[in-house]
Amino acid sequence: MSRHIADQPRTRGNARLTAFLRQARAALPHPATLQLQSRPKTRDAAVKPAHYLRIERGQQA
């Protein structure tokens, strides 16, 4: 006796998984944002002119 047509296993594919991963990845911060957040802080505004003046005077670090 053969199986009924409704007794066949369903193939869902990976559409549900793909949709879930898309939502999960959208909830995370973008990699470019993380990279910007991890950049070192800029130097103090008063330090840069001092370095430029030191270089202008010919002093090397």
3-39 pLDDT, tens digit each: 887 887 777 678 888 999 999 988 989 888 888 888 7
More confident position, 1 or 46: 46
Rounded to an integer, the average pLDDT of 29-51 is 82
Q: What is the Cα–Cα distance from 47 to 52, expressed in whole angstroms?
A: 9
Does a structural domain hold residue 26?
A: yes
Domain of 48 in residue numbering reads as 14-56
Does a structural domain hold residue 43?
A: yes
Does a structural domain hold residue 23?
A: yes
Does a structural domain hold residue 4?
A: no
Tell me, what's the pLDDT at 34? 87
Q: In sequence order, what E strands does the chain have?
A: none
3-class DSSP assignment, residue 3: coil
Tell me, what's the pLDDT at 61? 64
pTM, two decimal places: 0.36
Q: How many structural domains are present in the chain? A: 1
